[in-house]
Structure formats: C-alpha cells, structure tokens
Amino acid sequence: MTSTADSARLRAELDSLTTEAFRSELADIDRLPTLDIAKIMNGEDVTVPAAVAEQLPRIAAAIDAVAARMAQGGRLIYAGAGTAGRLGVLDASECPPTFNTAPTQVLGLIAGGPAALVTSSEGAEDDAELAATDLDSLALDRLDTVVGVSASGRTPYAVGAVGYARSCGALTVGLACNTGSPLADAADHPIEVVVGPELVTGSTRLKAGTAQKLVLNMISTITMIRLGKTYGNLMVDVRASNEKLRARSRRIVSLATGATEAEIEAALTATDGEVKNAILTLLGGVDGPAAARLLREADGHLRTALHAARGTE
C-alpha cells in the first residue's frame, strides 16, 4: 500500500515531468466542435518528427551498436510497461513477416506479460525485479541489446530492465520523452525525445507514443538494412507464405532485375521461392545452389554476393 510520503513524492515527480504538464489553454477543449479538436490534435502531432530529428545522431549511434551485435548473433529486446511495452511488442512482432527474422531474434517484453497487451496491468510497471526475472528467462548475454522504453523515463520496469541488462554485459538503450531521466542515465545509449505536454494531460499514448513508435521503427528497420535484409529499399528477405506475399515476391524480383515474368517464375522456382536467391541468379548469372552458397558466404548481404558472382564471370 502506498504511504502518504510515497504518494507525495510520486506527485512531485509527476509535477516535474514535461509529459505530465497541464495545459491551461486546453482546459475547455471538451466544449469545442469535433473538427476544432481534431485540428488541434493534428497540429500537436506535427511537432513529433521535429523532436525525433533532434535525437537522430544518438539514434544512429545506437542502431550501429545494435547492428554490430546482431551481426554476431545477438538479439534485440524491447522492455516497457503499458503503452511503451505494447509498442515494443508490436515492433518486434512485425520483424518476422517483414524481414524473415527468427521469432526469437527480435523480442518485446511488457510488464505483466502477454495478458497486459489487452488488459491493464499497471501495477507490474513498478516492479524492477520483474524485469530482471523476465530477462533472466531469456538467458541474456553480451551480444544482446535491451531497449528500455518509457515516456516518463522513470518506469521501474524499464529502468530495471536496462540496469539488469547492463550488469549482464548486454548493450542497453534508454528511450524516454523527458530529459535527465533515470532510464537515460542507466543506458549505454540514451535517447530522450522531448515532445512536450500532451493534449490530454498525462496521456502519453499520444505524442510520446507516436515518438516512441517512430524511434522503434528506425531502430528495427535500419538495423535490418545494416544486416542485409534489404536490397536498396526492397524487402528481399520477405517470405512468401500467402498469395499476397507471393505476388509481392514476384514484384520485388521484377523491380530489382527488370526480368520478364517467365524469367522471374523460373528463378523463383529454381530457388524455392527465395527472393534474394532469385535476384542473384538473374543478376549474377549463377544457378540456384551457387546463389545459396554465395549468400551464405556473404552473411546474407545480396550486394556482396552479387559482387562475388560477377567477379567469377
């Protein structure tokens, strides 16, 4: 049970946070026409990319460090509570279908476990030891990266996750939306995207949530680009598991090679539907087995494999 002293301390902390600030000019927003509220909210959202832009050097440095470890077999693990935790789980869940990553390569942990994705489990966010337990169950090691995500930058679960990960020798990133946060202080790579007070006081699923989604998109997407999961801006590691994805696979091969439909079908058939391999057979003039070998030797980087194939001509 929270004591009076603890309650006063927590209230003082909230009063000090930019994300929790009360905006008196919006005190009568509920009396405005819906269109006016929508215009105000849209205007607020426009400011988020600029706040993210201020942190791009820090974001880029973190991504390079993450990619270097993942190239050696490390994992990318997000940890957060509430909205921040859900955003981490969402970003992780989109990596396998987009980049053909293994389900265990990019992971999202949310305080309270999977049930907290749809049911409020806000009490779990106060448990720093729970984060250590969750990470310990993953057998964390020095090649892994843990990204703690918290709008306030003070959520015990996120701060605890970063602290435990650092003690294990893992790389750590702290993503917050306030300056001078404990989460940033605890991380190897602090990223503080200050978006200011929310339209609805304290509802950090709004601008803060948008900022976190943008940064997590950058971390996962650019890391995958660095790992050779794309060829230019084409998703060449996509796995065709349904009709839509099979059509997308053919289109990607077409865009990369300019080959005819018949040539594309033949290349995909020869490579068991693997888009990267099919592109390599068409652009590098090699057969399916040779394409597979060259890609293995190039650690999956199509440009490197293509250079090697052309060098053998």
- Supply the residues annotated as catalytic: 94, 125
* Alpha-carbon span 212 to 63, nearest angstrom: 15
- What stretches of 259-299 show up as alpha helix (H) in DSSP? 261-270, 275-284, 288-297
Which residues in the chain belong to E strands, given as ranges? 76-80, 106-110, 145-150, 171-176, 189-192
* Alpha-carbon span 61 to 278, nearest angstrom: 33
CB 196 within 8 A of CB 48: no
CA 196 to chain CA centroid, nearest Å = 22
Pick from 285, 284, 249, 289: which is nearest to 270 by CA? Answer: 289
Pick from 307, 272, 312, 264: which is nearest to 292 by CA? Answer: 272
* Alpha-carbon span 199 to 206, nearest angstrom: 8
Token pair in block for residue 57: 């050097």
In a 13 Å sphere around the CA of 177, the CA atoms on its Cβ side amount to 32
Amino acid at 46: V
